[in-house]
Structure 1
Amino acid sequence: MVESLHTVESKTVRMPLISQRLGVTAMAVALLAGLAAPGVATADTNVTVPTAAAGQDHPELQKAIQEIVDSGFAGVQLRVHDQRGEWVGSAGVRELGEAAKPPTNGRFWIGSTTKTFTATLVLQLVAEGRIGLDAPVAGYLPELGLDRRITVRMLLQHTSGLFNYAGGERYDDGTYVPGIPAAGKEWVDNRFHTYRPEELVRFALSKRARFAPGTDQSYSNTNYTLALLLIEKVTGRSYEQELQWRILRPLGLRDTSVPGTRTKLPGPHAHGYYRYQDAGQWKVADVSRQNLSLLAGAGDMISTTRDLHTFISALLSGRLLPAWLLAEMRTPHGKLGYGFGLWVQDVGPECGGTIVQHNGGAPGGYGALMISTPDGSKTLTASITSGNAAIDTATEFGKATQRLVKEVFCGTHARGVR
């Protein structure tokens, strides 16, 4: 996984970032829904802030998202929930060349934030006794010829050693083995191609493993596409049907979907852009339309900041899983500090001690943040869209994430200072 170390106050926090080649997921770092307060636009900063009725007028958050846009991104949508209520805002533009702001209820590709949904589905089946955490995956999917040492737990914790089909892998001996293109002109030209989950897994299985199952940890999209196939095999229904029945409908997540091969973002949305080289020339493509069957079960979903808030709050407050499984989900494992579909990070006492999160990013254009306290009482959910600026997207996204974490979990907003 592409990572960077950032500091929050005096503590070091490991933040997963956008990867230009999507060797892991993409950008870096959601609760029970309350209705967003009506917004009013401020003409000078192009930021939407809540009305006084929300009681959440935080200039530091307005300033933070504007500075993210000023660093070279096209737009930001931000939603913060805490014990006092909700703050919602946006900055930048919905589409390059236009003045309209990103809609605060806009849909966006959430990338690897999808993994938290997939892990939750698997754990619900574990709770029902239909899947064993330490059972060999090969016992459920014998047709794939998997190493029988690989267990369900290893998929969820990224300890299977399976090759990452999206982007490729660099092995410990320095050898780089390419995967399915997830960056550059090759991805841009191929971004409407349809892949089948089994096709992705078989491609990964045709490459040598990173390590023997259970002996190390390496982030791989293959693990969660396999989890999708596991869900479908055990239930006899599609991943999308199970997600609707078990999570989306019960929580009222009407703006969250599994698009499959559909390429358009439904409803209001901001446009995302991807900068790439073609014959030595830099070009920019609008990638708001793309086919994310490339990341089935691992990074293909669409959602909103409100729905991500509702989901992560419900999950962490115990509405979706029994206590013992939720405890395992929130327990960091291995060198990545990864639980079951969640990163667990120590941010020090000045920032509340611990945060849990799963970032996400489509191969180009979109990043998602879903960050929470372990009990779901405070959340930060956001979408950041790339523009046409010549910036190091991964580095700048890391800085943006760091700034928002500091403001929400460590700053005046965190301390409740008005």
Structure 2
Amino acid sequence: MAQGGQIFSCILPPPTNETEDKVDPLFPYWSFTKTVIAVSALRLAESDKISLDEPLADKIFTLRQLLNHTSGLPDYGTLRAYHLAVQDDEEPWPRTDLLQAAMAQGMRFAPGCGWSYSNIGYMLARDLVEEAADQTFSELIRDMISIPLGLESLELAVDRERFSRVHWEAALRYHPGWVYHGCLIGTPGDAARLLHSLFSGQLLNAASLQQMMTTVPLGGAIDGRPWTECGYGLGLMSGRMGAVGRAIGHSGGGPFCVNAVYHFPDQSTPVTVASFTDGQNEGQAEFAAVKGSGAP
């Protein structure tokens, strides 16, 4: 199959002349998992179990700065050795080795004085959430999201066996442990339902949702992608995608597939679209999401 040759989409609310497939394949959510980590953190903040703004013990940044990528932490995605190890289908490095290699690059900037995407930051954010809740991330997903919303396919993939159920054949040669903040898997429908539920007020109160959507402005158009205005909130990519107007959600990608899960609030009826395709071009999944939104 050619890269980008197959796109799976789910649109919510569904068009009136279409019905959902009886059986949906499973896909890795990749960095859409960050949205779920941020939702978990905000839920815990609502019950005063965690603080977004108190300095962390022995750290110079806050949880909010981890969630909006303003902590200054480096990213392991810039490490050539990391990508070579994934390409060779090695077992994931021990966490201490990963941290040592990533932090050897040095801080990007002082916390709060810039913006730089960091998977390391979200790995630490997940740690804080699990500690505050006294639950594993899998348990939090089950109790906060899967059961209340009826998302039966949603699961944290922790080993090769679970990840092997993913649609793409290339998944048979990948260990999800290489995604150090965690990699959710599920159907396109459940990805769209999760994000749609967030914006319909089923996951967070209004004040928390507003915090989540408060963005760090990042600039204008991106070549090869539908963005005409970009920003990042708390676990949410947020901006504008041309004629469709505002787009809020998250894109994600791994070695063999990409996805785009977005809510489009400026449509006459706000719509949420989840698109998944093979290849490594996130723009293709994003353009598919725009098309699925019904934009002219």
Q: Given the alignment, which residue of 125, 148, 164 partners 2:44?
A: 125
State yes or no: 1:357 paired with 2:249. yes
Report the CA distance shift for 1:216/1:249 in structure 2 as closer, same or farther (over 3 A). Answer: same
- Letter in structure 2 aligned against 1:163: P
Aligned equivalent of 1:343: 237
Cα distance, 1:74 vs structure 2? 4.2
Q: Is the 8 A contact 1:355 1:374 kept in 2?
A: yes
Q: Given the alignment, which residue of 141, 144, 158 partners 2:69?
A: 158
Q: Is the 8 A contact 1:88 1:104 kept in 2?
A: no
Cα distance, 1:404 vs structure 2? 4.2
Cα distance, 1:84 vs structure 2? 4.2
* Higher relative helix content: 2
- Letter in structure 1 aligned against 2:276: S
Give distance in 2, aligned partners of 1:224 and 1:262.
22
- Letter in structure 2 aligned against 1:244: R
Aligned equivalent of 2:222: none
Cα distance, 1:153 vs structure 2? 0.9
* Higher relative strand content: 1
| TM-score, normalising length: structure 1 | 0.61
Structure 1 runs of 4+ with >3 Å offset: 82-90, 198-207, 262-267, 374-377
Aligned equivalent of 1:287: 171
Aligned equivalent of 2:224: none
Q: Given the alignment, which residue of 25, 28, 33 partners 1:109?
A: 28
Q: Given the alignment, which residue of 59, 64, 87 partners 1:146?
A: 59
Cα distance, 1:241 vs structure 2? 1.2
Aligned equivalent of 2:260: 369
Aligned length: 283
Question: Per-residue displacement from partner, 1:110-144 (whole Å, max 9, x unpaired)?
Answer: 11010000000000011111111111122xxxxxx
Give distance in 1, aligned partners of 2:99 and 2:294.
38
Structure 2 residue runs of 5 or longer lacking an equivalent are 219-229
Cα distance, 1:239 vs structure 2? 1.4
Cα distance, 1:206 vs structure 2? 4.3
Give distance in 1, aligned partners of 2:30 and 2:19.
22
Cα distance, 1:219 vs structure 2? 0.5
SS of the counterpart of 2:155?
coil
Aligned equivalent of 1:22: none
Cα distance, 1:379 vs structure 2? 1.3
Q: Is the 8 A contact 1:79 1:86 kept in 2?
A: no
- Letter in structure 1 aligned against 2:82: P
Cα distance, 1:266 vs structure 2? 6.0
RMSD, aligned CA: 2.7
Cα distance, 1:317 vs structure 2? 0.8
| TM-score, normalising length: structure 2 | 0.84
Where in structure 2 are the equivalents of 1:320-339 lying within 5 Å?
320-335=203-218, 337-339=231-233
Identity %: 28
Aligned equivalent of 1:270: 167
Structure 1 residue runs of 5 or longer lacking an equivalent are 1-68, 91-102, 139-144, 169-177, 273-285, 387-392, 412-418
Q: Is the 8 A contact 1:80 1:379 kept in 2?
A: yes
- Letter in structure 2 aligned against 1:187: V
Q: Is the 8 A contact 1:109 1:300 kept in 2?
A: yes
